[in-house]
């Protein structure tokens, strides 16, 4: 009979993996935010502060703050909004994958233990 926690990584190793994924998620958020700021600054000629506000609002799913004036800016904003939706899903998956992985191992171990009884 196998030990219950044999397949689960030790808690310090799990927490390190989780922290690493959180840091990676933050880096992706910052890169996506900078890309949005750069796009708004370039296409709409917004100040860096206004570009930050618009990029942050789109990235968080709230929507744009300022009215867009150029066609290039509108196309960028649409593409950035689509990217932001996918980025949100990807970042969530990256950050929580260690938790989900550990949870799945626990479920598997519990079902394995109930079969052996």
CA distances from 103 to 2, 25, 32 (A): 18, 20, 29
In this prediction the pTM is 0.79
> What are the residue ranges spanned by the domains of the chain?
18-101
pLDDT by residue for the chain (117 residues), tens only, comes to: 345 556 677 888 889 999 999 999 999 999 999 999 999 999 999 999 999 999 999 999 888 898 999 999 999 999 999 999 999 999 999 999 988 888 887 777 666 666 666
For 86-110, the pLDDT digits (tens) are 999 999 999 999 888 888 877 776 6
Dist CA 31 CA 28 (whole Å): 5
Is 1.10.10 the CATH classification of the domain at 18-101? Answer: no
């Amino acid at each position: 009979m196998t030990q219950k926690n044999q397949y689960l990584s030790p808690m310090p190793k799990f927490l390190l993996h989780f922290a690493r994924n959180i840091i990676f998620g933050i880096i992706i958020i910052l890169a996506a935010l900078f890309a949005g700021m750069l796009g708004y600054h370039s296409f709409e000629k917004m100040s860096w502060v206004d570009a930050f506000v618009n990029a942050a609002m789109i990235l968080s799913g709230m929507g744009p703050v300022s009215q867009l004036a150029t066609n290039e800016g509108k196309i960028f904003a649409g593409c950035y909004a689509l990217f932001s939706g996918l980025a949100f899903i990807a970042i969530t998956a990256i950050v929580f994958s260690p938790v989900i992985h550990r949870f799945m191992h626990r479920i598997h171990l519990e079902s394995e233990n109930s079969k052996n009884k």
